[in-house]
Amino acid sequence: MRRSVPSWGAVEVRVVRPELWLLGIVVIALLLVEVWQSSRMAALSLALGQHRTALQQADARLEFVRAEHERRTTRAELAPVADDLGLAPLDANHVVVLPSSYLVDDDAVRSAPGTVVAWAERAARSIVPDAMARGRRDR
């Protein structure tokens, strides 16, 4: 026979509910996955920024080297390349041959950079840039 025990004297037994434990573990796992994804995304963004900066530096260096190469290349060096590529003038009237007496030696201009002639040449080049070849347009 069972005896009645008053409610204040009864010992409460807690029932462990596995559903709640499972739900708690799933929530914690989801939070950990979210933190992992956020940290991974931050690491990838940082790496992307570093690669983008390196690419910009490489592009700037390439442009600098190209510009320096173009400054150092003379027309006499480019003439054989133009002939190989078929960039010769189409009409013979486009070719102007000047006697050598009209031309100034490059060495004479470079040897006296402080002269009025050198200053005038620099001013003329800044006002009227050297002619550049244009690409052919497709029609």
Per-residue 3-state assignment (H helix, E strand, C coil) for the chain: CCCCCCCCCCCCCCCCCHHHHHHHHHHHHHHHHHHHHHHHHHHHHHHHHHHHHHHHHHHHHHHHHHHHHHHHCCHHHHHHHHHHHCCCCCCHHHCCCCCHHHCCCHHHHHHCCCCHHHHHHHHHHHHCCCCCCCCCCCC
Q: What is the mean pLDDT of residues 44-72?
A: 95
Residue 89 has pLDDT above 60, yes or no: yes
pLDDT level of residue 5 (50, 70, 90 thresholds):
low
Does the reported pTM lie above 0.75?
no
| pLDDT tens per residue, range 26-56 | 999 999 999 999 999 999 999 999 999 999 9
Task: Write down the domain spans for the chain.
Answer: 18-95, 98-128
pLDDT level of residue 131 (50, 70, 90 thresholds):
low
